Structure 1
Amino acid sequence: MQKRNFEHLFKFARDLTVDAGEQIRTSFQKEITVDFKENRSDLVTNMDKQIERFFIKNIQKSYPDHRILGEEGFGDKITSLDGTIWIIDPIDGTMNFVHMQRHFAISVAIYHNGEGIIGLIYDVAQKDLYYAVKGQGAFLNDRKLPALGSIDVGDAVIGVNSAWVFEKKRIKEGIIPHLINNLRGTRSFGSAAIELAYTASGKIDGYISLRLSPWDYAAGKILIEEVGGKISTINGDPLTILTKQSPVFAAKPGLHESILKNFLIK
């Protein structure tokens, strides 16, 4: 993909994301329709669907050869990484959107032939736009983020869902509590996209989740790698956007390797 088209594509994606955020903020004053998917904690609203359709309509109009993978299922069925693929979560942290109107984000990633080239995470309520362009670094509201440095496990604050402490099906019992007991602290914000953006910007030192889909981490992966952070499965394997659900671990360099070796890989 030529650099000129690359820059135009970023500006297009950025403008779409900001426009979508304005639509969501406007909805704060309106009644929203709330439903759930597999269970009552897996919420979806009319705004999730409206925003995904908004992206799809505009992308198809301007880039008809691009494919789209969206959480709400209005895009394409993706079976290969060929070409240019948009990966969109219209509202990551829908429960926070419904209950608090805070701590949720729009997550948009663009991959070309399997390589992440553009990532945007928009904290809608705060109007904070985290973004990265391959090879150009990561930014928060046009301020370039510094490269991440290493930190000791005992000084680290990691984002983790407290429910994972009691999870027994997906990880060997006891590993997560053992890790938590050796950290400075943990935080839980209820939005994977925001927690990955916080990791990229150094607000927290890492993030771990035992179950994420590509639209949850695709943009965050690009941001984190552009500032020198590491992101993988909890076994240290590479992430792929074709895997529906993966355990994900992201952290500062050095810290990522230390936690994998001493706490996660058994």
Structure 2
Amino acid sequence: MSRIDRKELFNTATDWTREAGEYIRKKMKESFSVNTKSNQDDLVTDVDKGVENFFEQKLSDKLPDHTLMGEEGTAESVKNLDGTVWILDPIDGTMNFVHQESFFAVSLGIFENGEGIIGIVYDVMNDEMFSCLKGEGAYVNGRKLPELKEVPVHESILSFNSGWILKDRRLEKLVKESRGTRSYGSAALELAYVAAGRLDAYISFNLAPWDIAGGYVLIKEVGSTVTNYEGKDLDFLNKGTLLAANPYIHNNILSLIHEYDQ
């Protein structure tokens, strides 16, 4: 795909994402159904499914040679990242959507033969769209994200679910070493915040490709670092761990996590 084609694809993707956001805001004023998936805290609504259906229909009509890997069903048939694959989380942060009506996002990463070329994270309620086209810089609502500043671990703000400490007590070291911790309940937004310098690192132990695809492309575009918990490349066909961090502290965080492994 040529550069001009990529630009057109980027514009199309951002337009459709904004349309999806409008659909979500409209549905929030109406009643919607809430169900559970793998456990009582794994929520899904008919709005999630409606957004995924929206993208599925758009691709079928306009870009039938592209593939959709979505959280609510379309991922099941995706076995590789050959060609152009849209990796979609229709509502990342569904629990926030249901209980708080805020801090959720439409997350979209577009990959070409395994390479992330477009990243979009749209904070629907704050109307903040983080977006990038590979090689063209990353933006929020059209304003270019600033270059990430060097920050030591003791001045950093980290983000992870506090429940992870119960599963890995090594995280207590990071809590003590950092300036503070946060948890927003949306991996997509937390990744976007790392890209924007609002957070210095984000850690999670169990994320699916659609949770991270959009934010991953953003992170890479601003020169930040994203790996799994072992410092290896991410797998966009399976669930896994994640450490996204300001490039100046990524290795330091890995060292602090694994210093007791020796």
Q: TM-score range by the shorter chain?
A: over 0.9
Match of residue 253, structure 1, among 240, 247, 250: 247
* Shift, 1:185, TM fit: 0.5
Looking at structure 1, the residues matched to 210 and 109 of structure 2 have their Cα atoms a distance apart, in angstroms, of 8
Q: Aligned letter for 1:237?
A: K
Question: In the alignment, which residue of structure 1 is the partner of 2:228?
Answer: 233
Cα RMSD, aligned residues only? 1.1
* Shift, 1:248, TM fit: 0.4
Does the CA contact (< 8 Å) of 2:173 and 2:256 recur in 1? no
Alignment of 1:172-211 (within 5 A): 173-211=168-206
Provide the TM-score with structure 1 as the length reference: 0.95
Alignment of 1:95-114 (within 5 A): 95-114=95-114
Question: In the alignment, which residue of structure 2 is the partner of 1:35?
Answer: 35
Q: Aligned letter for 1:205?
A: D
Alignment of 1:1-266 (within 5 A): 1-74=1-74, 77-167=77-167, 173-243=168-238, 245-264=239-258, 266=261
Q: Which of structure 1's runs of 4+ aligned residues deviate more than 4 A? A: none
* Shift, 1:74, TM fit: 3.0
The residue matched to 1:236 in structure 2 has which SS? coil
Unaligned runs of 5+ in 1: 168-172
Looking at structure 1, the residues matched to 71 and 150 of structure 2 have their Cα atoms a distance apart, in angstroms, of 33
Looking at structure 2, the residues matched to 218 and 264 of structure 1 have their Cα atoms a distance apart, in angstroms, of 26
**What number of residue pairs does the alignment pair up?**
260
Looking at structure 2, the residues matched to 174 and 147 of structure 1 have their Cα atoms a distance apart, in angstroms, of 33
Does the CA contact (< 8 Å) of 1:53 and 1:74 recur in 2? no
Looking at structure 2, the residues matched to 88 and 39 of structure 1 have their Cα atoms a distance apart, in angstroms, of 21
* Shift, 1:256, TM fit: 0.5
Aligned residues: percent identity?
Answer: 44
Provide the TM-score with structure 2 as the length reference: 0.97
The residue matched to 2:189 in structure 1 has which SS? helix
Q: Aligned letter for 2:240?
A: S
Does the CA contact (< 8 Å) of 2:20 and 2:51 recur in 1? yes
Does the CA contact (< 8 Å) of 1:36 and 1:42 recur in 2? yes
The residue matched to 1:261 in structure 2 has which SS? helix
Question: In the alignment, which residue of structure 2 is the partner of 1:170?
Answer: none
Looking at structure 2, the residues matched to 180 and 46 of structure 1 have their Cα atoms a distance apart, in angstroms, of 37
Does the CA contact (< 8 Å) of 2:154 and 2:178 recur in 1? yes
Q: Aligned letter for 2:154?
A: G
* Shift, 1:111, TM fit: 0.1
* Shift, 1:142, TM fit: 0.3
* Shift, 1:76, TM fit: 5.7
Looking at structure 2, the residues matched to 26 and 86 of structure 1 have their Cα atoms a distance apart, in angstroms, of 24
Unaligned runs of 5+ in 2: none
